[in-house]
C-alpha cells in the first residue's frame, strides 16, 4: 500500500477511531482503482512516487466524502488525467 491508515486519516482530517474499518476499506479500494487506471501492478504503482500517492489519497477522499452519490465515471476520468504520467500504454 502506498499510504497507510494513519496517513489516510490525517489526509481526511479524521481524529477518532470510529471509522477506521471504513477508511481502511476505502483506502484499499482507492489503491486498487488507481492501479487499474494506471495499468500497473502494486509494486510498480507504489514505486511510481508522489503522483500515485496523491491519486490514491484523492480517490480515498472522494469515496469517503461521496459515499452516497459518487460519480465513478467522473472519478475515473479525473484519475486518468492525474495518472497520465505513470500510466502504462494500452492496446
Model pTM score: 0.90
Q: What pLDDT is recorded for position 91?
A: 52
In whole angstroms, give the CA distance from residue 60 to residue 23: 8
Q: What is the DSSP letter of 1?
A: -
- Walk along the chain (91 residues) and give the pLDDT tens digit of each residue: 999 999 999 999 999 999 999 999 999 999 999 999 999 999 999 998 899 999 999 999 999 999 889 899 999 999 999 999 888 776 5
Q: Distance between CA atoms of 62 and 66, rounded to whole angstroms?
A: 6
Q: What's the CA gap between 15 and 38, in Å, rounded?
A: 31
Q: Are 52 and 88 in contact (CB under 8 A)?
A: no
CA–CA dist 76, 58 (Å, integer): 11
Amino acid at each position: 500500500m502506498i499510504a497507510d491508515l494513519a496517513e489516510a486519516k490525517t489526509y481526511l482530517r479524521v481524529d477518532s477511531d470510529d471509522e477506521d474499518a471504513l477508511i481502511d476499506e476505502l483506502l484499499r479500494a482507492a489503491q486498487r482503482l488507481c492501479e487499474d487506471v494506471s495499468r500497473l501492478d502494486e509494486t510498480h504503482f507504489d514505486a511510481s512516487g508522489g503522483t500515485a500517492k496523491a491519486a490514491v489519497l484523492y480517490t480515498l477522499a472522494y469515496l469517503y466524502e461521496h459515499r452516497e452519490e459518487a460519480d465513478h465515471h467522473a472519478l475515473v476520468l479525473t484519475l486518468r488525467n492525474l495518472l497520465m504520467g505513470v500510466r502504462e500504454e494500452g492496446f
